[in-house]
Structure 1
Amino acid sequence: MTASHVRWIFARRLEGMSTAGVARVLNERRVLSPAAYDRMRNPHREGAVWTLRTVAAILANPRYTGREVWNRQFTDHREAVPGDRRTCLGPVRA
């Protein structure tokens, strides 16, 4: 699958085509699904066809939607009493 395929998928959704319709057209055009396109990265996947779930996953992927954040960190304040910052045992980055 190429970047142009991803752009095409987003364009069809913006036009109002359903995710199932997008998958159907991709299969009709014999576009390789991500699992079939890169077997080395997807040895656990058997699907050689596009499914509604595959298209939905691409449409929700933060890398494609522009919502990916690099080096995001979560701080756990380890509160002895949950919600009470005064009982904090010290922050831990995860």
Structure 2
Amino acid sequence: MSGRTPARVCPVRTCVGCRERAAKDDLLRIVVIGSECVPDDRGTLPGRGAYVHPAVVCLDQAVRRRAFPRAFRAQGPLDTAGLRRHVEQTAQ
């Protein structure tokens, strides 16, 4: 036997809001364009990404903890209004 398992391993990422680890497919990738946090549903936008559960609770925790500027190594606050609208629409 080669020691390999037949099941494929799924990448794991950490939600910047609740700090729980989850499968990459279960999280929403966020990137910064200018000074705005933008959802990256397909995972193809260039640049550093941060992951959050697609839930308003996790998004609120990330904003309250100032996790996005820290994750993106950005100076100053980032605009999350468009991201919040996207999460609220997908949560319904």
TM-score in terms of structure 1 length? 0.24
Q: Which has the higher contact order (CA 8 A, sep 6+)?
A: 2
Structure with the higher fraction of residues in strand conformation: 2
- More helix, by proportion: 1
Question: Considering only CA atoms, is the larger Rg found in Structure 1 or Structure 2?
Answer: 1
TM-score, reference length from structure 2: 0.24
